[in-house]
Amino acid sequence: MKKRILTCLLALLAVLTMTVPAWAEQTEDDLFVYDTVGLLDEDEWLELEMMADEISWRYNCGVYIVTVDDYEDYNSDIHYAAVAIYDGNDFGIGENREGIMLMLSMYDRDYDLFVRDGGTAQYAVNKYGRHQMTEVFLDNFADNDWKGGFEDYLSACGEYLDRAEQGHPVRKPLMKVLPMALGIGVVLAMAVCLCLKAKMKTVRQGAEADAYVTAEGLNLTERYDRYTHTTETRRKISKDSDSGSSDHSGGGGSSTSGKF
């Protein structure tokens, strides 16, 4: 019964997404777990809702769980489908509508981890954080362990928000970024230095005589173009991580999506 009410609520709010331009703020009575597909039983739902409620109000950043049949009901792009649900349901706490949302779309087993831009949520869970967080729950979902996955997600949210509050948000370790950063620094510095060194040499043998061409210029007498054949090469597009996830941003948030 409760699920049916939730489904109706979510559907109603999703419709409002297209029509209501101003957002209301999340209140103490509003929910954080919207299991419209029915993956959880009532006890599981209640337990997760309480957990999400506790984390959200402790850090003033809503942590949401949404399950839908097919994200394409909201938008053909999974990221914008998440944006539509987040905005359409007035998700988020505070003026900046801080929040993190995990959406599961069951039709093709897609997930989207959405983080609201420009505040605590983004500071606590950046792109690297999103990728780290997905690794925590994807294995559960692969085994259809919905409650376990959601629990892991909520725990991770709590941990990330706690670290951010203490001023030590989850960030890529220095040793992981150093080789690439060093490469960028060395290549850029060498390019500048070689440019400066090239300026020291101004004497070169003349290779062409363009300056002495008469005003008529080139008299093109022969022009022949014949198509012979076409070749094709295919390269598999490498995803951002081994799990085949991809990153998106726009609509006031950033997300990482993929399959589970």
Partner 1 sequence: MASQITNYKCPACTGPLHFVGASGMLECDYCGAKYDVAQIEALYAEKEAKAVAATEQANIKAEENRQKIAEMEAQGWDTSGLSSDWGAEADGMKAYSCPSCGAELICDASTAATSCPYCGNPTVVPGQFSGALKPDYVIPFKLSKEDAVAALKNHYKGKPLLPKAFTNGNHIEEIKGVYVPFWMFDGQAEGCVDYEGLIIHVYESGDYEITETEHYDVRRGGSITFEKVPVDASSKMPDDHMDSIEPYNYKDLRAFSTAYLPGFLADKYDVTVEQSRERADGRCAASLEGALHRTTTEYSSCIPKSRNINLRRGKVHYALLPVWMLHTKWNGKDFLFAMNGQTGKLVGDLPTDMGKFWAIFAAIAAPVTAIAATILMLM
Given the rule CB under 8 A, which residues bind partner 1? 126-128, 171-172, 174, 177-178, 180-182, 184-186, 188-190, 192-193, 196-197, 199-214, 216-237
> Closer CB to partner 1, residue 29 or residue 225?
225
Distance, CA of 48 to CA of 84 (rounded, Å) = 23
Shortest distance in whole angstroms from residue 58 CB to partner 1: 25
> Closer CB to partner 1, residue 142 or residue 189?
189
> Closer CB to partner 1, residue 144 or residue 249?
249
32 and 52 Cβ atoms separated by less than 8 Å: yes
CA angle 99, 104, 109 (to 5 degrees): 155
Shortest distance in whole angstroms from residue 131 CB to partner 1: 10
> Closer CB to partner 1, residue 208 or residue 242?
208
Radius of gyration of the chain from its Cα atoms, rounded to whole angstroms:
27
Nearest residue to 68 via CA among 85, 53, 43, 80 = 85
Tokens, residue 97: 């509508």
Shortest distance in whole angstroms from residue 173 CB to partner 1: 8
> Closer CB to partner 1, residue 5 or residue 209?
209
Q: Which residues of 115-146 are buried (b: 16+ CB within 10 A; e: fewer)?
A: bbeebbbbbbbbbebbbbbbebbbebbeeeeb
Shortest distance in whole angstroms from residue 134 CB to partner 1: 16
Shortest distance in whole angstroms from residue 258 CB to partner 1: 12
